[in-house]
Amino acid sequence: MPSVSSSPSLWETVKSDFKTLFPEDVFKLWFEPIVCVESAEDSLTLGVPNDFAAIWINDNYLDLIVQRLRLSTGRLMTVKLKKVDLDGSSAPFASTTDAGSRIKTTAAPVRRAPRYDEKTGIAGGLNPRNTFETFVVGNNNQMAHAAAMAVAQAPAQAYNPLFIYGDTGLGKTHLMHAIGHAILKNNPHAKIAYLSTEKFTNEFIQALQENALPKFRQRYRHVDVLLLDDVQFLGNKERIQEEFFHTFNDLFESSKQIVLSSDRRASEIEKLEARLVSRFEWGLPADIQAPDFETRVAILRTKAATLKFELPPGVATFIAQNISKNIRRLEGALIKVASYSSLTGKPIDLATTEMLLQDVLMEQAQNQLTIETIQKRVADHYQIRHSDMTSKRRPNNIAIPRQIAMYITRTLTKHSLQEIGDAYGGRDHGTVIHACKAVDNMMEQDASVRGSVEFLKAQLSR
């Protein structure tokens, strides 16, 4: 039985084989950063730098790694991939591959993310690639981009807080990091904290357990800029909301810049205290929508140039036509194509692209619950006509099911408020927000409405 300490060298042996097997850039991209973090007789846990690497290696190289280990040990070993902190220790909320559908980082080698540094004040680490220079501006993000630039140029003077919201994978984190980089460039001594709400919550809980609240407060209430990502996770967490309320006030009163991101408007965050909602709305709420076709192509071209990958126009068009709602996915598709090309040494054509992306495209098509399906299902349930979902008729027996259908569309799909409004007879986004709130209230007050909505949601999510 191999001892725990011998396994890193087992992995190092495999790694050095791969060095001769793969072109240098592929090796550097995928294998060089991998470390062995844990081992047992029949299993090995390998640490990878980010969720994307975990998914990519799982999909493309795991079989090869298992085969190679079998050659070395004579045994069939299970290999798990785990995201680890870039200094090699496990991240506090590390995920294994099966947890990772959220591809968060790009695939090029990732620089070490600095831990909180008392001198520079950087917490969490800013991805060096997420700068204003690498951010492609389109109609979808123009306002958020302009606001972010203004904040970077005049922290705490332009908009405070800046509240960036929009669906997943559309560049909120990128803009926050860009603000951090730009401020540091103008003032290398600025104390900047970037962190996710999840991390803020975890650190707060840990501080509570260890009686270390003063230190925690000192850390986040004395920065020049606080960049807090994914504040929708404050929803339903009373204690952490209370803590963040005071953090916010302290920073705001001392004229420090606060930038927040969320996947929805502040007023739509479930069970977020009114005093926080109003504070989040004090400054500028700036939304990011899904990019249009031209912006998607521009993003692909920019990313391809960064990867030094020659992207044929037809391939760019194909990817941009087929992946529209999430830039992270767009980027994932490009990296898949670029890696294949660098691995085989062949230029990429349309047929190969279709073949490479067929899984992604199939998964996307299968997972797409359409608004029409929701409307039909809800209309059937309440025995009204499908056409009532888009009609202007307002009697309660029609208006309520229609509101419920909008609510379900909002919860189960990634459509924007405007798209939902359009699909329900050309209503505006305010009507959709109103419908969602009304259904929330009805569900709270009436168990039978709650039962029906839960039932419909469960059926539609299958």
Which structure tokens are listed for 454?
């839960």
Which structure tokens are listed for 362?
């199939």
Are 127 and 105 in contact by the 8 Å Cβ rule? The answer is yes
Cβ closer to ligand ATP: 15 or 296?
296
Cβ closer to ligand ATP: 288 or 435?
288
Task: State the minimum distance, in angstroms, from the CB of residue 88 to ligand ATP.
Answer: 23
Q: Is 121 annotated as a binding residue?
A: no
Q: With H, G, I as helix, E, B as strand and everything else as coil, classify residue 180.
A: helix
Are 233 and 201 in contact by the 8 Å Cβ rule? The answer is yes
| Closest by CA position to 391, among listed 381, 405, 377 | 405
User: Strand order in 192-196's β-sheet?
Assistant: 192-196, 225-229, 257-262, 162-166, 284-288
Task: State the minimum distance, in angstroms, from the CB of residue 327 to ligand ATP.
Answer: 4
Task: State the minimum distance, in angstroms, from the CB of residue 265 to ligand ATP.
Answer: 14
Which structure tokens are listed for 10?
């087992």
Task: State the minimum distance, in angstroms, from the CB of residue 251 to ligand ATP.
Answer: 21
Task: State the minimum distance, in angstroms, from the CB of residue 454 to ligand ATP.
Answer: 26
Q: Is 171 annotated as a binding residue?
A: yes
Query: Which residue, judged by CB position, is nearest to ligand ATP in the bound state?
Result: 171
User: Which strand (E) or helix (H) includes residue 43?
Assistant: strand 43-48
Q: Is 104 annotated as a binding residue?
A: no
Cβ closer to ligand ATP: 148 or 183?
148
Task: State the minimum distance, in angstroms, from the CB of residue 123 to ligand ATP.
Answer: 17
**Chain residues that interact with ligand ATP, rule: CB under 6 A:** 104, 106, 130, 134-136, 141, 168-174, 230, 263, 299, 327-328, 331
Cβ closer to ligand ATP: 337 or 379?
337
Which structure tokens are listed for 348?
């990429």
DSSP bridge pairs for 165: 262, 287
Which structure tokens are listed for 329?
């996915």
Helix, strand, coil percentages for the chain (3-state, nearest 5): 55, 10, 35
Q: Is 306 annotated as a binding residue?
A: no
Cβ closer to ligand ATP: 86 or 442?
86
Cβ closer to ligand ATP: 230 or 388?
230
Binding site membership for ATP: which residues? 169, 171-173
